[in-house]
Amino acid sequence: MHGTPKILLVDDNTEFLNITQQLLQARTEYDILTLSEGSRTLEVSLKEKPDVIVLDVYMPDAEGPQVCRELKRAPEVANIPVLFLTAVGGDPRFRARCLEEGADDFLTKPANTDELIARLRVLLRIKSLQEELRDERDELERKVQARARELKEKETLAAIGKMVAGVAHEIRNPLGAISNSAAVLSRDLILEGEDDKLMDIIVRESERLRLTINEFLKFAHPAPYNYLPIDVRQLVEDVIMLARRDGLCAEGLTFELELPEDLPPVEIDQDRIHQVLWNLIRNALQAVDNEGEIRVTLQSEQVNEAAGIQIVVSDTGPGIPEEDINHIFDPFFTRKARGSGLGLAMVQSTVRAHNGVISVESNGGTGTIFTVWLPVHQDNLDGK
């Protein structure tokens, strides 16, 4: 419950409403609203969202229990406590009926101001505790669902990793024989024209396949992480230097860098985060296709009270299609003619292994933004 508590008084006796409103305003900090038409209680409650409703039992246009039943059936206001004012509060059958309709408390008319204020404070405390419990429940449900998704994803990735490792090992040996044989033939034979081109293709494609298999094996069986305090600014500069010399970096492409000098060292596996940055920037190079802008920014960012560094890599390329955005981190998902589909899956896996977070924003035609957050300190390095 936030701000000044709001109390709604509902009674057909306007004199009672005026006096009670004045007394409560003089002795409490509450915002007091009044309503003389019981039939409009639901309407006003939906609009004003009071924290407690004080409701007269007998009104010409609506009976209190009926009004209470309507309130409790409306999800938007069902959690608002209802305090009944009644002249027949001692009747057990009447109390039972009111409780069945959702009453939270009773007060006999004429109401003593001190007792009314005390009852209101109790109901406000109960409502506040109920809201805290609901918030904690919602947060717990969110965490349980996130953990369930994480476990399901790990089980899936473990199965994929096992399959990939088996396939990669089966291919590796014959591929090695093919690659070595091609290299020997290329060295010993005098080839011309189309034969020379074909041999070059065999050697080149064998090497590409070897690198792809290595990616599969790294994905299936990643090496242990080695966390050390690293200057991420320098790491970004090193990757950008390599990107400027990449064959995809054309004259019409520009880099915009925002790299503050006062950022703290970050505990990371340098080689792994280097690969993360390289994958994201090379994807951006492919996206802008000869002309455009790639922007890389660093800044301090606190997440859940943990100090961290935020890395943003954005480009002015065509963006990611809406139907693909939820799959780009899936293993083997790719729209490229050549590619293993493991690049972004490995990026996400690496970021998570650093207790970090990665997200992507993209609308077709307006570019893509990847945001990576890494904690400055790794609190628990065991089992990484």
* Residue 289: both structure tokens together: 């296709």
Beta bridge partners of 277: none
What does the buried/exposed string (b/e) look like for 105-131 if buried means 16 or more CB atoms within 10 Å of the residue's CB? Answer: bbbeeebeeeebbebbeebbeebeeee
Give residue 157's pLDDT.
Answer: 60
For residue 358, the model assigns a pLDDT of 92
Residue 273 phi, psi dihedral angles, 5° rounding: -70, -30
Q: Which stretches of the chain drop beneath a pLDDT of 70?
A: 1-2, 88-91, 144, 146-179, 182-197, 199, 201, 204-205, 208, 210-222, 247, 250, 332-333, 335-341, 364-365, 380-384
Please tell me the CATH code under which domain 228-375 is placed: 3.30.565.10
Q: What is the pLDDT of residue 174?
A: 67
Q: What does the pLDDT read at residue 119?
A: 87
Fold held by 6-111: Rossmann fold (3.40.50)
Strand partners, 293: 254
pTM more than 0.75: no
Mean pLDDT over each residue of the chain, to the nearest integer: 80
